[in-house]
Structure formats: structure tokens, C-alpha cells
């Protein structure tokens, strides 16, 4: 019974990439800068796994006997958003980034959107999601019009109070936007951002939903499911891949619920993949420049690592990684172009191997397919022989 468990710590980068200057991200180092900013900060289990052994990591001492194989990965694709990072992990390299609309969306998009939903819109500028609902929430309640906004990521976000635009209707509006945003306007994600509350006290709910582009070609997930392996999605993985290649999925309410649901799947008996995204690092703390909150979230996850490992079966491979950075210590609130860490553990493998600096996130896809003996034309280079 072969299985791979991939846990993506959303936005937990580990140092700026060589081309970070093109993105305005010089000096970004999500983990490293948190270590340097918070007094006596420590990730006890990640350090035992080999965090300090990763090339270029100077925020923590190396371990003489790391639990895991360890390394870091470059992003070969252009961009630094969630969809790009996850697609690359699954074997797709993007040679051009998804379009960005820093100044808001042009009339050709907004006018068509208004016509299709038979409503006006308010906002239509780049903003923090928590700020824009406080700035425009009262107007939204008065007019009933959805709030449209974007960010430095390739996203078309639609915020609405759940009492004004019910969840089902908001999702339908997002699907309309997704159908409009194609071709040169094909943003990576349309995101439903429902909120509740009263004036001055608006808060977003867990009914967020991402409407991503469909992958252009088969991914690791498609290949696994086509070969009769299970592909179980925890969190927003199913949204990122538009449900392509997913055989079972479960929503989560926060990082620790995501860990609980992942462990629940590990306890099932099946062959295939568990693919988990833990979004709170990014959504709750990175984008809000909340250094203390980000550090506490990392420590919460770090404490759960021994529990996750204790549930693994003999042939299971655990991969812990990230999809991009979102350094809360840097100016701005957007993702950062960073290396991401990779830890690989299996009870039956030779742990403690330095995987070095991988040239692509797609090395994960290549490794997974080789482990399951699936022929493929995916990008990347397998590291399965390094750990077995």
C-alpha cells in the first residue's frame, strides 16, 4: 500500500530567489526573518528535521542527525501566486505569469461582468481583503452591490455580506466572472470572499471558495487517478486544480483542522496521494503583516509533526513544503518570490539526505510518479533514488 502525503505550508518561504528583484522582493525570507524578529523563536521539530541543514539557512544551527531528507526548491515558473506554485508541484511549468491588474480591472471586463450579473459593482482596485470590507462594507449593505478587488496576485476577488448576497448566489457570481476571465484576461483565480458582521466589525468567514483555471495539461493528480490511485484533497487543493484528478475532498476550518483531517485520511487504508494545503499562514498572517501570529501558527504546526509521523505506515512518504513566500516582516502585504523548504520522511527510507537546491517544484511530481511507477512527461527531476 503505497502512499504519498504532501502538506503545503501556504507561503512559508525560506529566502528570496535570485530573480526576486524583478518582483520587488529582495531580502524576503519568511522563515528566516520570523526567526530574527521574534525573540527566542524556535521550531523544535523542524530543526530536528533538518531546517538548519538546508543550504543557505543561517537562522538556526544545523542538526547532527536530522530526521528527514531536506533541501529547498526554486520556482521555475514565472510568478509567485498560489496556483502557479501548486501547479508546478504537480508538474506544470508556466512560461508566462498569470495577468495582473494592479490598477483594477478595465471596462471591457467590469462592464461585461455587470451585464452578466445584472448588478453594479463597487471597489475595483487593489486592496487588502480585510481593509476593503471595512472601507466599503457599509456601502455594500446599502446598495447590495458586490465588492470587487484584486491584489498583487492574479486574482479577481468578490466580497459580499452573507445576509446580502447568500453564499450560493455569491458562488454563482464567481462562476460568471470565471467564464469572463479567459484568454489574455485569464487570472489564476476568482475568489469568493464572504463576510459577516456589522459596521466597523466585519469579519470574513470560512465560506471562501477559489475558482481556478483548469490546468492546461494532465498533472500528477490526473495521472494518479487515471491509474486507479486515490487522490484525496484537504483544504483548497480541489479548488486550485478545479477538481481535476481529485477522487475525494474535504474542507477545513483552519490549520489545525487541516492537520486533523490529514491524519484522518492517513488512518484510511488506500493507495495514492493525500494533498493538503494549510492556508492560515498566508491568509491570516502573511498578508496582514502579523509576525507574531505567523510565528505562533508555525509553532502550532511544528508541535503536530511528531503526531503526523507517528500515524505513517511503512511505505508512506511524507513531504512538507510550501508554494511561495509571504514575508510578514517586509513592506507590503503580498506574496514574495522565495525558495521553499522541502522535508521528506519515510519510515522505510534513508532519512538525513541533503536534497540540495532543487531546480523546480516539479521535482515533487516527478518523484511521486516514479514512486507509483507511472510513466509521464511531466517537468522535473525525481529524487526518489536519493531517499531509497
Which pLDDT score, from 0 to 100, does residue 102 have? Answer: 83
Which pLDDT score, from 0 to 100, does residue 257 have? Answer: 98
* pLDDT classification of 334: cutoffs 50, 70, 90: confident
pLDDT tens digit sequence for 51-68: 999 999 999 999 999 999
DSSP 98: P
**Mean pLDDT, residues 143-168 taken together:** 94
Better-predicted residue by pLDDT, 388 or 174: 174
Domains and CATH numbers, the chain: 3-94+215-387 (3.40.720.10), 107-212 (3.30.70.1250)
DSSP 184: G
* pLDDT classification of 129: cutoffs 50, 70, 90: confident
CB count within 10 Å of CB 38 equals 17
309 three-class SS: helix
Distance CA 146, CA 159 (A): 6
**Mean pLDDT, residues 341-362 taken together:** 94
DSSP 78: S
Which pLDDT score, from 0 to 100, does residue 153 have? Answer: 81
Q: Residue 336 pLDDT more than 90? A: yes
Which pLDDT score, from 0 to 100, does residue 201 have? Answer: 94
DSSP 132: H
Q: What is the mean pLDDT of the chain?
A: 95
Which residue in the block uniquely carries the three cell numbers 536530522?
66
pLDDT tens digit sequence for 108-128: 999 999 999 999 999 999 988
- Least confident piece of the model among 38-42, 129-133, 227-231, 290-294: 129-133
**Mean pLDDT, residues 328-347 taken together:** 94
Which pLDDT score, from 0 to 100, does residue 349 have? Answer: 82
Distance CA 307, CA 69 (A): 18
Q: Residue 152 pLDDT more than 80? A: no
Which pLDDT score, from 0 to 100, does residue 30 have? Answer: 98
Distance CA 31, CA 43 (A): 10
Q: Residue 69 pLDDT more than 80? A: yes
Distance CA 228, CA 273 (A): 11
Taken in order 243, 248, 251, 254, the sign of the CA dihedral is negative
270 burial (CB, 10 Å; 0-12 / 13-18 / 19+) is middle
319 burial (CB, 10 Å; 0-12 / 13-18 / 19+) is buried
* pLDDT classification of 206: cutoffs 50, 70, 90: confident
Phi, psi of 30 (to 5 degrees): -55, -55
Distance CA 25, CA 42 (A): 25
Which pLDDT score, from 0 to 100, does residue 93 have? Answer: 95
Q: Which residues are 155's β-sheet partners?
A: 189
Judge if pTM exceeds 0.75.
yes
pLDDT tens digit sequence for 94-106: 988 889 898 899 9
Which residue in the block uniquely carries the three cell numbers 501558527?
297
**Mean pLDDT, residues 288-310 taken together:** 97
**Mean pLDDT, residues 271-299 taken together:** 96
Whether residue 303 contacts residue 295, with contact meaning beta carbons closer than 8 Å, is answered with no
User: How long a stretch of residues is the chain?
Assistant: 388
**Mean pLDDT, residues 35-53 taken together:** 97
What percentage of the chain carries pLDDT values higher than 70?
100
| Most confident of the following: 3-12, 93-102, 183-192 | 3-12
138 three-class SS: helix
DSSP string over 28-57 = --HHHHHHHHSTT---HHHHHHTGGGSTT-
Q: Are strands 189-196 and 209-212 parallel, antiparallel or unpaired?
A: antiparallel
Which pLDDT score, from 0 to 100, does residue 77 have? Answer: 96
Helix spans in 228-329 (H): 237-240, 255-267, 280, 291-311
DSSP string over 334-366 = S-B-B-EEEEEE-TTS----EEEEES-TTHHHH
Distance CA 307, CA 244 (A): 30
Distance CA 122, CA 144 (A): 10
Amino acid at each position: 500500500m503505497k502512499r504519498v502525503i504532501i502538506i503545503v505550508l501556504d507561503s512559508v518561504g525560506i529566502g528570496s530567489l535570485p530573480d526576486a528583484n524583478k518582483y520587488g522582493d529582495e531580502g524576503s525570507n519568511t522563515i528566516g526573518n520570523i526567526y530574527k524578529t521574534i525573540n527566542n523563536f524556535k521550531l523544535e521539530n523542524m530543526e530536528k528535521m533538518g531546517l538548519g541543514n538546508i543550504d543557505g539557512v543561517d537562522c538556526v544551527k544545523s542538526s547532527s542527525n536530522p530526521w528527514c531528507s531536506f533541501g529547498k526548491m526554486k520556482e521555475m515558473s514565472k510568478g509567485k501566486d498560489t496556483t502557479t506554485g501548486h501547479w508546478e508541484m504537480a508538474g506544470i511549468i508556466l512560461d508566462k505569469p498569470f495577468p495582473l491588474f494592479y490598477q483594477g480591472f478595465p471596462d471591457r471586463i467590469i462592464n461585461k461582468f455587470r451585464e452578466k450579473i445584472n448588478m453594479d459593482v463597487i471597489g475595483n482596485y487593489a486592496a487588502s481583503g480585510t481593509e476593503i470590507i471595512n472601507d466599503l462594507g457599509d456601502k455594500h449593505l446599502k446598495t447590495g452591490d458586490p465588492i470587487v478587488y484584486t491584489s498583487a496576485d492574479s486574482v479577481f476577488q468578490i466580497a459580499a455580506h452573507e445576509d446580502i448576497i447568500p453564499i450560493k448566489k455569491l458562488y454563482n457570481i464567481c462562476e460568471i466572472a470565471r467564464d469572463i476571465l479567459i484568454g489574455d484576461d485569464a487570472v489564476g483565480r476568482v475568489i469568493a470572499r464572504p463576510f459577516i458582521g456589522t459596521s466597523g466589525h466585519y469579519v470574513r468567514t470560512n465560506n471562501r471558495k477559489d475558482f481556478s483555471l483548469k490546468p492546461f495539461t494532465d498533472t500528477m493528480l490526473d495521472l494518479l487517478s487515471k491509474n486507479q490511485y486515490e487522490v484525496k484533497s484537504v483544504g483548497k487543493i480541489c479548488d486550485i486544480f478545479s477538481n481535476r484528478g481529485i477522487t475525494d475532498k474535504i474542507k477545513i476550518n483552519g490549520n489545525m483542522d487541516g492537520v486533523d483531517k490529514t491524519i484522518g485520511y492517513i488512518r484510511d487504508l488506500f493507495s495514492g496521494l493525500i494533498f493538503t494545503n494549510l492556508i492560515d499562514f498566508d491568509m491570516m498572517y502573511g498578508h496582514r503583516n502579523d509576525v507574531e501570529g505567523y510565528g505562533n501558527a508555525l509553532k502550532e504546526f511544528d508541535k503536530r509533526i511528531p503526531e503526523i509521523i507517528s500515524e505513517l505506515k511503512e511505505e508512506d512518504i511524507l513531504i512538507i513544503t510550501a508554494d511561495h513566500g509571504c514575508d510578514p516582516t517586509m513592506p507590503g502585504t503580498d506574496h514574495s518570490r522565495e525558495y521553499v523548504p522541502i522535508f521528506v520522511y519515510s519510515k522505510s527510507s534513508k532519512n538525513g539526505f541533503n536534497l540540495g537546491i532543487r531546480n523546480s517544484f516539479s521535482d515533487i511530481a516527478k518523484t511521486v510518479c516514479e514512486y507509483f511507477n507511472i510513466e509521464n512527461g511531466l517537468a522535473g527531476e525525481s529524487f526518489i533514488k536519493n531517499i531509497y
